[in-house]
Structure 1
Amino acid sequence: MVIILSSVDHQCKCHGVSGSCELKSCWRSLRSFTHIANQLKELYDNSIEVHLERNLIDKKLHFVPKSIPFRREKQTMSIAYKDALIFLNASPNYCELDLSAGSFGTIGRVCNRSSRAIDSCELLCCDRGYQSHLVTIRSQCNCRFQWCCYVQCQSCVSTQEISRCL
């Protein structure tokens, strides 16, 4: 919510003869979705794992970063990271089979070796590599409607390269 509120721009436009500002229209607009998504991704990449700790003085629960070893520094850091994205439990490793987390892993998954997007072998195969092989695909093609009442197709054969994660 903070990211969206901080991404609101105030824009104005003047209306009038020869550029005079007799009437001024102003509105609020949101920055591009890409800008907001990039900010969220940066927060996610720099998120902090925390645990709950009860303060001995006021008996309240506080989030404390797990990776800071000394108590005095932990209390300082919890204040410094009040605008950070925090999490209590680490995400499951979706690269590996983990049925309790609902993850089937990526072994054997079809990937695109020439892509740089989310379907790329580089991303999906989790640095385990991939294997490519050629498959022959038989399908119907050049279909035409024949008078009356049926469709006639040819049988076409094509060869396609399929890549799968190791």
Structure 2
Amino acid sequence: MRTLCETCLTRSSPIQKLGCADIYWLIDHAKIGGNMGKGLTKFVLLALFLALVGCAKAVHKDWAAIGGSRADATIKMGYSWDPRSEKPETSRQQAVDLASTKCKTWGYDGAEEFGASVSTCLSHTMQPFVGVVCEQMLATAEFQCIGGVPATQPEPRMSRTTK
């Protein structure tokens, strides 16, 4: 169920406000016994159908340099998206190429990714019956500059004073 819901995050149906968390809540509460349970089960199936009818394609996101350190020879790349309405598609090669370009301006031969990419919720709200809902996600990846010798800046001249 989660996979189905996550692949259909972008909706253009009349019930755009219905999100994955809402569907999970409805499914959990549809398990109530008796006549009310049967009515809720029908409602859940209708809600799922309407939510899936409006599924759209994933959204392409470009990586961008969002930080780095020349002294440490690192570049931080990232992109952001709205998890309620977007399923990002990215190119790792585009991230490597952009990081390599940045490293080359510092005198290195290129860049390679190190460590795992990390996704963090930047902005969230509290919704009734659902709980905390993330509104803005940020994915980041660190790259290490490799090869070559970094361009150095000239040493400052020290004047010697004699007594």
Which range, TM-score by smaller chain? under 0.3
Whichever of the two has the greater Rg, that structure is 1
- The structure that is strand-richer by fraction is 1
Q: Tell which has more relative contact order, 1 or 2 (C-alpha 8 A, sep 6+).
A: 2
Relative to the length of structure 1, the TM-score reads: 0.25
Relative to the length of structure 2, the TM-score reads: 0.25
